[in-house]
Amino acid sequence: SSAYKKTYGNRVSNFSNPTAKLILETMERKKSNLAVSVDVTDANDLLAIIEAVAPYHSHELFFKTHIDIIQNFDFSLIEKLQHLSQKYDFVYFEDRKFADIGNTVALQYSSGVYKIASWSHLTNAHPVPGLSIIKGLSSVGLPLGRGLLLLAEMSTKGSLAVGTYTEEAVRMARQNRDFVIGFIAQKRMDGVGSSEEEDTSDEDFLILTPGIGLDAKGDSMGQQYRTPREAIFGSGCDIIIVGRGIYGTDSKAVDTIAAQAERYMAEGWAAYLARINN
């Protein structure tokens, strides 16, 4: 597709959604396509990892959270997170993976302990309930300028999100371009599942891809890793999501985390430059 060869900056006008525009503009400005996934259970560790990575190089585009795994959560954490995102100019992606009926997901997104819509620029949902899930989430997120990704594919061994399921996810997104800005997927989705009469040649979706690792092939629970180059250059994904590859499993040394982030950032950006200049 044409979006595959375009610069991130030149794709801003392909989107009406303000979060999509913000993401692409931030990528162009920071020269980064790296999302850091921080899956730690202590609020202080979460803040420490962001502080370890963000100030040194300022290249990180996203921090991806699972806010419901934090044991010592209270809303002051959100205020601290918001302060950091303003200070270091990055975007939050709460990896909530909503999966219920429209009415329920609207409540889960706006309310409860976490009030995700109030702070997270981007979130995601399983397409399994059908269009009603987009209706529910967009009723909350669209007025706030938020964006949504659908889970078109997953990185795990034996994932059921394949074939016609993936194609249906893309069709759902195509009908809701104002709010659905792309996918969690393993490859580009432009034109996927479109009929012959439809012209999808200029279609553009953001592809965020998890399952990225330079030193491991997977973990003991079904995760599968590939390199930034395979994802960005080989498969046309736009943003790499890296968790344990950056913050490790035990060492929380600030300079180790910062150095690993720099390494993934450099690999991801080099793969993007190779792609647009190829």
21 carries an active-site annotation: no
Q: Give the contact letters, 17-46, x = binds to ligand 5BU (CB under 6 A), - = no.
A: --------------------x-x-------
Q: Report in angstroms how near the CB of residue 201 gets to ligand 5BU at its nearest.
A: 28
182, with CB counted inside 10 A (0-12, 13-18, 19+), is: buried
Q: Does 224 bind ligand 5BU (CB under 6 A)?
A: no
Q: Does 241 bind ligand 5BU (CB under 6 A)?
A: yes
Which residue number, 136 or 243, has a Cβ lying nearer to ligand 5BU?
Answer: 243
At 131, the amino acid letter reads L
Task: Region of 65 please: left (phi>0), alpha (psi -120 to 50) or beta.
Answer: beta
Residue 147 pairs in a beta bridge with 122
Out of 32, 110, 223, 260, the residue judged to bind ligand 5BU by CB under 6 A: 223
Q: Report in angstroms how near the CB of residue 50 gets to ligand 5BU at its nearest.
A: 15
In sequence order, which residues have a C-beta less than 8 Å from that of residue 17 and are 6 or more positions away?
Answer: 145, 147, 177, 178, 179, 181
Would you list the DSSP string of 201-247?
TT---EEEE--B-SS-SB-TTS-B-B-HHIIIIIS--SEEEESHHHH
Which residue number, 193 or 228, has a Cβ lying nearer to ligand 5BU?
Answer: 228
Q: Does 182 bind ligand 5BU (CB under 6 A)?
A: no
Q: Does 155 bind ligand 5BU (CB under 6 A)?
A: yes
Written in H, E and C, the secondary structure of 6-53 is CCCHHHHHHCCCHHHHHHHHHHHHHCCCEEEEECCCCHHHHHHHHHHH
Out of 129, 193, 245, 268, the residue judged to bind ligand 5BU by CB under 6 A: 245
Q: Report in angstroms how near the CB of residue 271 gets to ligand 5BU at its nearest.
A: 17
Among the listed ranges 25-33, 84-92, 237-245, 255-263, the one in contact with ligand 5BU (CB under 6 A) is 237-245
Q: Select which of 80, 97, 115, 135 is catalytic.
A: 97
Out of 244, 259, 262, 266, the residue judged to bind ligand 5BU by CB under 6 A: 244
**Three-class secondary structure of residue 179 per DSSP:** coil
**Three-class secondary structure of residue 160 per DSSP:** coil
State the Cα–Cα distance between residues 272 and 266, nearest whole angstrom: 10
Catalytically active residues, by annotation: 97
Site residues, ligand 5BU (CB under 6 A): 37, 39, 66, 95, 151, 154-156, 184, 210-211, 223, 241-245
